[in-house]
Amino acid sequence: MMNLAFILEDSAKERPAKEAFIFGDTRLNFAQVNGAANQVANALVARGIQKGDKVALSCLNLPYFPIVYFGILKAGAVVVPLSVLLKHNEVAYHLEDSEAKAYFCFEGTDTLPMGAQGYEGFTQVDSCQQFFTITGNPGAPSPFGKTETLGMLMNGASPVFDTRQTQENDTAVIIYTSGTTGHPKGAELSHSNLLMNAIMVRDMIRIVPEDIMLTVLPLFHIFGQSVQMNAGVLAGSTNVLLPRFTPENVFGLLLKEKVTFFAGVPTMYWALTNAKISADDISTIAQYMRVAVSGGASLPVKVLTDFEEKFRVPILEGYGMSEGSPVVTFNKLTRKRKPGSIGSAVWGVEVKLVDEHDHTVPVGEKGEIVYRGHNVMKGYYKKPEANAKALRNGWMHSGDIAIMDEDGDFFIVDRIKDMIIRGGLNVYPREVEDVMMKHPAVSLVAVIGVPDEEKGEEVKAYVVLKDGHSATAEELIHFTKEELAAYKYPRMVEIRPSLPMSATGKLLKKVLRQELKDA
């Protein structure tokens, strides 16, 4: 028997008064979070939620998220975390596809009306019969008709609950993939998947109760949820929650809370490196922060080296995906780091590179990352055809192309779907982006393939320049031409003030491709 909620219960038993989550002036210890989660579980059971039922959750990085998350798990139900940026039609799709019976949704803000979008989506799905508004003020009424609030749900519920027992392979969480092609798919992650990943992360990064994590990665995404929230709760450390990333907010909390552990995606490290901060503040941050972690996308080597030089804090880069719970490979503290590498396979997981026929490729040659082990999802929910394609021969096929060196360290080359075929020759955008990032005026780059009658596809780069720097498209084309083979360099460069990004900070190349189609 296994229930992921055990990690919260254990920390509440071992260190009840230890601060678990901090948000602004709110500081909740493990006993308080566990008691509140018990209230949610009691209330859900009273309202008919059965073991195995799906319960959706849309919430910013607020203490409500872990309270509801672990409350759902304690009730024996399945958490379906949803992006806070979904529109009502997307919310409806996720609720219907996951067969959610209930839905918790934060009311949102003036600039992010997620509550209104969530409620409208809920009204379109007959099978989802219960809607609970999470209000900023627990005593405030719901702004959406007669719907019940989280405060009303918890009012009078006992803070003591006998957690429903679940099997280790029972589904704990359904994480929806980004849906690069077609509709998003829900990856079913078991209690064992998530517990093993949390244990592995805790041990690899040596997370201890004294650690203070700054959690700005969205908790609805598997990266922040597993690597920070779950691993932090398991270790008994403190999570400082930040709902919205800005360099100023991050710097303020790093200094105020004496943060020891920061995790982010490449665009966050890019923004922090380019933001203005005093030498004294840098020194203070470096005094307390012992390690930083990057994932979610490939970290350009230039960004890594610039950040480490500025803040004197090592970045450990890893690789994962929702289907891998998420961590698959990692740069371990016990091994020498290699800039640009996503590290080696984590404990209990096998990783290899294969060609299009699933044959293992030799060391140093490009191949698709496939893996198997305790981290592999049960499958995509209700998607047998997608499962047959992704989980071939007992291996999870990632869709990512990499190279492995003689030490067993992997280096991401690109996504299979992002690869550009120009005149019959393969061009990997990551390689072009890394070269362009070396230009002193370049701050951020996204390279995609655009349709071309003669070559099939042509290489185009979208570039954001550094503040106070200038460069023309022609200059950047010439610079890249000098560094790359003739078929690889971009023939088109478009300079922009910014690039589209997801809620998790990933560059959205699919938005750039769609712009071209719509033009």
Tell me, yes or no, whether 219 and 271 share the same domain. Answer: yes
Mean of the pLDDT values across residues 80-93? Answer: 93
Residue that terminates a domain, selected from 179, 212, 242: 179
471-483 confidence digits (pLDDT tens): 999 999 999 999 9
pLDDT of 424 > 80? The answer is: no
Tell me, yes or no, whether 379 and 366 share the same domain. Answer: yes
Banded pLDDT at 387 (limits 50, 70, 90)? very high
- Looking at residue 297, its pLDDT comes to 78
pLDDT of 227 > 90? The answer is: yes
Tell me, yes or no, whether 221 and 258 share the same domain. Answer: yes
| Terminal C-alpha separation, the chain | 55
Tell me, yes or no, whether 266 and 385 share the same domain. Answer: yes
Banded pLDDT at 506 (limits 50, 70, 90)? confident
Tell me, yes or no, whether 35 and 142 share the same domain. Answer: yes
The residue ranking higher by pLDDT, 126 or 85, is 126
Tell me, yes or no, whether 201 and 334 share the same domain. Answer: yes
Helix/strand/coil for 255: helix
What's the mean per-residue pLDDT of the chain? 95
Residue that terminates a domain, selected from 359, 382, 415: 415
Comparing C-alpha atoms, which of 235, 233, 290, 281 is closest to residue 256? 281
Residue 103 in contact with residue 116, Cβ under 8 Å?
no
| Count of domains observed in the chain | 3
- Looking at residue 182, its pLDDT comes to 64
Tell me, yes or no, whether 158 and 78 share the same domain. Answer: yes
Inside any domain, residue 187? no
Inside any domain, residue 429? yes
Under DSSP, the state recorded for 177 is P
Inside any domain, residue 40? yes
Inside any domain, residue 23? no
Tell me, yes or no, whether 353 and 475 share the same domain. Answer: no
Least confident range of 102-106, 197-201, 300-304, 408-412: 300-304
Tell me, yes or no, whether 372 and 425 share the same domain. Answer: no
Tell me, yes or no, whether 348 and 407 share the same domain. Answer: yes
Distance in angstroms (rounded) separating the CA atoms of residues 224 and 268: 14
Mean of the pLDDT values across residues 360-371? Answer: 97
Inside any domain, residue 185? no
Mean of the pLDDT values across residues 262-290? Answer: 95
Tell me, yes or no, whether 84 and 213 share the same domain. Answer: no
Distance in angstroms (rounded) separating the CA atoms of residues 188 and 175: 7
Range of the domain at 503: 419-518
- Looking at residue 425, its pLDDT comes to 82
Residue 133 in contact with residue 147, Cβ under 8 Å?
yes
Mean of the pLDDT values across residues 243-254? Answer: 97
Sheet bearing 492-495, strands edge to edge = 442-452, 456-465, 492-495
Inside any domain, residue 83? yes
- Looking at residue 178, its pLDDT comes to 66
pLDDT of 394 > 60? The answer is: yes
- CATH number (domain holding residue 271): 3.40.50.12780
Q: Percent of the chain at pLDDT above 90?
A: 85
Tell me, yes or no, whether 141 and 246 share the same domain. Answer: no
Banded pLDDT at 267 (limits 50, 70, 90)? confident
Mean of the pLDDT values across residues 154-162? Answer: 98
Inside any domain, residue 360? yes
Inside any domain, residue 356? yes
Mean of the pLDDT values across residues 405-430? Answer: 89
Distance in angstroms (rounded) separating the CA atoms of residues 275 and 250: 11
Mean of the pLDDT values across residues 258-278? Answer: 94
Banded pLDDT at 180 (limits 50, 70, 90)? very low
Residue that terminates a domain, selected from 397, 415, 433: 415
